[in-house]
């Protein structure tokens, strides 16, 4: 089959790849996006929905925010429940005074695809990239010469580019190709799993809800006026099929203490899956002709809703760096990409790890478990009473 050519080959049509593709097209850089799934699957996958102020600014300044500005909902509060009662933090008035915008990721993805195609971009759906070959990772970081990298597509035409952007997740070929050249990974298994449940019901709380309970964490996250996301901490290895709708609603009622604070609005369970909370970061998000963004560069646990926001940040920085290399022959931006990204990535991971410690106490009745749960409630009490602690929380909760 004939081999197509592009300035940048982007692997993966998630938020990182789609934001990157739109920004490159806007800068006059030709690119093609390869996505292994079909369009309906990409546009229908329900994921995170909390966009930080920086992400909204990037999308707005680059003409990618029409949908979220029209339909997104501003959130500025979160609520904590425990055996010791309930309190609400208005984080929009704390720290840097920044809100979240709640906009379901699948709707953002649909917007980004439509705008990318409107700008003349090419997306190949059903194109499974199986290998990055050529000079990927083999040249000096940021070199801006005329070399090319080939992306082999299973059962389809290969694509070559001056650069490849791996935006295909932590199991994708972008990461595999980079680590094959010796890039190391720092990782942590948080030892926690969540049953993630999407229900056809309006939100039951005005705020994001975090419930600490001896049976495990429970979370309430609004998505739209008719759909809500819930989380239930569960044992590692749990089969979602073991959780009936009745069991889900019963356990949510217990952990969210509805006997004390009022009932939940119930509806049909649309989706349920188990998420193991794990995090990792590559020591460098790229080299030579291959650069990564989003989960491909580092997987972050969902405990602080940072994943999509890191993807937007990295796409913004990578677009700027690739423009320098391709339009101006200046590889400085690529050489600095790791230095620009990693401090902010690690700050997000630090806060996500802190949130995990706040939300998940140890199980059991032995001395160490009781000690760990007492520390958990001490953290929560400090957050309730200390303005300094609240400002720290707000700045990190909404920022990167």
Query: How does pLDDT run across 44-84, given as a tens digit for each residue?
Result: 887 778 999 999 999 999 999 999 999 999 999 999 999 99
In this structure, the answer to whether residues 202 and 336 fall within a common structural domain is no
In this structure, the answer to whether residues 320 and 246 fall within a common structural domain is no
Q: Tell me, what CATH number does 37's domain have?
A: 3.50.50.60
Residues 6+ apart with CB under 8 A from 302: 48, 194, 275, 277
pTM: 0.93
73-75 and 4-11 strand pairing? unpaired
Distance of CA 30 to the CA centre of its chain: 26
Amino acid 173: pLDDT: 94
Q: Catalytic annotation on 328?
A: no
Burial of 28 by CB count in 10 Å (0-12 exposed, 13-18 middle, 19+ buried)?
A: exposed
Amino acid 207: pLDDT: 84
Amino acid 138: pLDDT: 47
Amino acid 362: pLDDT: 87
In this structure, the answer to whether residues 15 and 41 fall within a common structural domain is yes
Q: Catalytic annotation on 75?
A: yes
**Closest to 52 in 3D by CA, of 18, 110, 98:** 98
Q: Which of the residues 15, 75, 103, 170 is marked catalytic?
A: 75
In this structure, the answer to whether residues 324 and 385 fall within a common structural domain is no
Taken in order 218, 230, 55, 120, is the CA torsion positive or negative?
Answer: positive
Residue 389's domain comprises 191-277+364-398
Amino acid 365: pLDDT: 87
In this structure, the answer to whether residues 267 and 142 fall within a common structural domain is no
When divided into structural domains, the chain yields a total of 2
Q: Which of the residues 302, 337, 349, 360 is marked catalytic?
A: 302
Q: Which residues of the chain fall short of a pLDDT of 70?
A: 1-4, 134-147
Q: Strand ranges (DSSP E) for the chain?
A: 4-11, 31-35, 50-51, 73-75, 77-82, 85-90, 100-102, 122-125, 129-134, 149-153, 159-166, 185-199, 208-211, 218-222, 228-234, 269-282, 286-287, 290-292, 298-299
Residue 168 lies in a domain: yes
d(CA 129, CA 151): 6
Q: Which of the residues 213, 306, 349, 353 is marked catalytic?
A: 306
Q: Which of the residues 103, 116, 210, 230 is marked catalytic?
A: 210
Residue 338 lies in a domain: yes
Amino acid 119: pLDDT: 96
**Closest to 115 in 3D by CA, of 179, 194, 189, 59:** 59
Residue 30 lies in a domain: yes
Amino acid 147: pLDDT: 67
In this structure, the answer to whether residues 291 and 269 fall within a common structural domain is no
In this structure, the answer to whether residues 337 and 229 fall within a common structural domain is no
Residue 357 lies in a domain: no
Q: Which of the residues 91, 116, 231, 397 is marked catalytic?
A: 397
Distance of CA 251 to the CA centre of its chain: 27
Residue 120 lies in a domain: yes
Q: Catalytic annotation on 272?
A: no
In this structure, the answer to whether residues 245 and 302 fall within a common structural domain is no
In this structure, the answer to whether residues 238 and 337 fall within a common structural domain is no
Tokens of 269: 């369970």
Q: Catalytic annotation on 210?
A: yes
For residue 271, give the H/E element and its range: strand 269-282
In this structure, the answer to whether residues 204 and 154 fall within a common structural domain is no
Q: Catalytic annotation on 99?
A: no
In this structure, the answer to whether residues 156 and 282 fall within a common structural domain is yes
């Amino acid at each position: 089959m004939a081999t197509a050519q592009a300035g940048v080959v982007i692997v993966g049509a998630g938020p990182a790849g789609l934001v990157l593709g739109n920004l490159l097209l806007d800068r006059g850089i030709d690119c093609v996006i390869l996505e292994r799934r079909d369009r309906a699957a990409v546009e229908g996958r329900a994921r995170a929905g909390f966009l930080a102020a920086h992400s909204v600014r990037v999308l707005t300044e680059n003409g990618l925010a029409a949908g979220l500005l029209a339909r997104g909902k501003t959130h500025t509060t979160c609520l904590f429940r425990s055996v010791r009662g309930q309190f609400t933090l208005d984080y929009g008035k704390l720290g840097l005074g920044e809100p979240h915008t709640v906009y379901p990721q699948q709707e953002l993805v649909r917007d980004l695809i439509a705008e990318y195609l409107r700008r003349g971009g090419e997306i190949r759906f059903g194109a499974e990239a199986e290998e990055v070959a050529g000079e990927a990772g083999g040249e000096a970081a940021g070199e801006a010469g005329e070399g090319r990298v080939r992306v082999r597509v299973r059962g389809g035409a290969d694509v070559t580019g001056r650069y490849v952007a791996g935006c295909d997740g932590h199991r994708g070929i972008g990461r595999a190709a980079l680590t094959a050249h010796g890039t190391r990974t720092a990782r942590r298994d948080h030892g926690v799993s969540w049953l993630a449940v999407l229900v056809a019901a309006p939100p039951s709380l005005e705020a994001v809800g975090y419930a600490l309970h001896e049976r495990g964490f429970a979370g309430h996250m609004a998505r739209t006026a008719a759909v809500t996301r819930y989380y239930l901490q569960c044992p590692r290895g749990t089969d979602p099929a073991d959780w009936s709708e009745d069991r889900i609603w019963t356990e949510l009622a217990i952990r969210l203490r509805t006997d004390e604070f009022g009932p939940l609005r119930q509806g049909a369970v649309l989706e349920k899956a188990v998420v193991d909370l794990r995090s990792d970061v590559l020591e460098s998000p790229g080299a030579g002709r291959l650069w990564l963004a989003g989960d491909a560069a580092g997987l972050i646990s969902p405990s602080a809703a940072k994943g999509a926001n890191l993807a937007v940040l990295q796409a913004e920085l990578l677009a700027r760096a690739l423009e320098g290399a391709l339009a101006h022959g200046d590889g400085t931006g690529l050489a600095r990409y790791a230095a620009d990204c990693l401090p902010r990535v690690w700050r997000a991971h630090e806060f996500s790890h802190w949130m995990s410690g706040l939300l998940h106490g140890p199980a059991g009745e032995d001395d160490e478990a009781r000690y760990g749960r007492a520390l958990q409630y001490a953290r929560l009490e400090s957050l309730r009473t200390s303005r300094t602690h609240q400002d720290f929380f707000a700045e990190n909760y909404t920022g990167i």
